[in-house]
Chain A
């Protein structure tokens, strides 16, 4: 799938001029040997917004985040973060950003509170100030009771919250979150989303990667869809859905022996009522402005799906449309 030309011409993915961008990337490329992990991507992140990279495993999200975080040199292209070049001003940039890496890198040899205090020291905070902020942040992520605990026994969600607290110790204006909620249960995710939402309201710019469409929809003002090292589309969640999907989706499940015989048949009988039909291994998706009408047509034609469900389009459908694959394999 090549990049959609509409996206490159369209105004929404590049809403900001480079001068006012917190992050500005043009033709940004990362190669590991012969392998291209990030292939000439363009994007801008404006102050105060929540910007997302949505894409499946191996799309190049982490590679991009590491370049922004000044811990991985770019191979080609332009990148400025907070108006500065990472290669030259890495320490200055890192002093002003917060990073939540994909894998937790908490200090196992220290207590929960000391993890925050020493991290504050790395940013040259006076000890008393580091302690004050540590206690505040523990409260913010609801870990005050665990302050004296070691890191090891914490649950996955607690570790993630602690990592987020740690990333905030230098009061960053830009926060990079690489899959902040992957592997967490719904309750833990909602707590994290709530904290991130509060940060955004305070004016912190959020840049996050995810392969959860609901996370992207919940948190991101704008996002780009990444696939195989490239950006294939960009815009607000709403814009993307409007542009690449229908208003509603009819999900049909058929007994497996029938599916084969349906080839072409659905398109015919839905003529005019469906914009598009997608076949997945376990179900058939009918993209239609009116899902209910499509369902009626299917039944009227004598087809008896095992189940049928009408729902609104999501970013998952956008991704499927753009890449021909589902987001989580």
Chain B
């Protein structure tokens, strides 16, 4: 009976078929891997420009637990988090829009045993994998430059998976409502301020009160807080809130995407 109930739900995620969509994307990127490379450099340039340029002027700043750390060590975790987020956003917005509206990839996929849940899960996981590639690359730079005071920081990359999940889920959910290429401009309009104002380049304490509360809802703020605490060894129970919040956002995104694909493609 369990088999029957599983096939009967159009949103079933447990079928394991989502992996074939990930495989599809691997096939594609095997031939066009150069397009992946650019996303690696952006956060690196920020690290060099801000950390080693501005950092000279700023000197020491208070870390998450109040202890002073160098400015470069302060922003490195945020840039790792931004890497994971940006990679996930690229694939879950622009590429998904193209596949959904022009290439009709999902129409073809849905004629096979895969369902909308498989498509949503496969695409979201693929997008977060792309974010992970950048996060891992950035971690390499961090280690090379010795910007990670705590060994807990080795968990930064796995922790950034949840940020990628949230970003990909929300990114794809938003994309499923977009109709024109102009709508996609919204992505940049949202992602840039999120990147700049999520406690990336200075601590939250800089903001006045209402703003401080609002920023705490930013997934990048949550991801940055989590990763910064790991990399600087400032562990705190609030990290559980970070983790839970990101997981929740990812699930909400996944549910919205499944519903939207069903509405758009299975009329």
Contacts and interface: CB of A to CB of B under 8 A. Distances in A.
B91 to A, nearest CB: 13
Contacts of A119: 108, 112
Contact of A118 (B10, B23, B32, B111): B23
Interface residues of B, number: 27
B60 interface: no
A91 B7 contact: yes
Interface centre among B4, B17, B113, B115, by most A CB within 10 Å? B113
Interface in B114-132: 114-115
Contacts of A32: 267
A32 B266 CA distance: 12
B114 A122 contact: yes
Contact of A121 (B15, B23, B115): B23
B108 A107 contact: yes
Interface stretch (B79-87, B99-107, B157-165): B99-107
Contacts of B20: 118, 121-122, 124
Interface string B13-32: 00101001001100110001
Contacts of B32: 109
Given A92-B7, A105-B105, A108-B103, A118 B113 contact: no
A114 B104 contact: no
B265 interface: yes
B160 to A, nearest CB: 27
Given A105-B105, A105-B108, A107-B103, A88 B114 contact: no
B109 interface: yes
Interface in A87-114: 88-92, 94-95, 99, 101, 103, 105-110, 114
B24 A107 contact: yes
B110 interface: yes
Contacts of B110: 71
A194 B114 CA distance: 31
Contacts of B8: 88-89
A140 interface: no
A122 B7 CA distance: 16
B264 to A, nearest CB: 12
Contact of B112 (A73, A94, A109, A110): A94
Contact of A110 (B17, B28, B267): B28
Contacts, number: 75
A124 B17 contact: yes
Contacts of B265: 71
B104 A73 contact: no
A123 B108 CA distance: 12
A224 B221 CA distance: 62
A101 B107 contact: yes
Contacts of A201: none
A111 B236 CA distance: 50
B59 to A, nearest CB: 48
Contacts of B266: 71-73
A91 B27 contact: no
Interface string A52-80: 00000000000000000101110000000
Given A90-B7, A90-B10, A105-B108, A124 B23 contact: no
Given A118-B23, A123-B113, A72 B17 contact: no
Contacts of A106: 108
Nearest to A111: B31
Nearest to A73: B266
A121 B118 CA distance: 14
Interface in B171-195: none
B27 A110 contact: yes
**Residue of B7, B107, B108, B267 with highest tally of chain A CB at under 10 A:** B108
Contacts of B107: 71, 101, 105
A105 B113 CA distance: 16
Contacts of B17: 122, 124
A69 B263 CA distance: 17
A122 B109 contact: yes
A329 to B, nearest CB: 25
Contacts of B111: 69, 71, 94, 99, 101, 105
Interface in B15-71: 15, 17, 20, 23-24, 27-28, 32
8 contacts: A89-B7, A91-B7, A92-B113, A99-B111, A105-B108, A107-B103, A118-B23, A123-B112
Interface of A: 32, 69, 71-73, 88-92, 94-95, 99, 101, 103, 105-110, 114, 117-119, 121-124, 170
The 6 closest A-B pairs by CB, nearest first: A105-B108, A122-B112, A91-B113, A105-B104, A99-B111, A109-B28
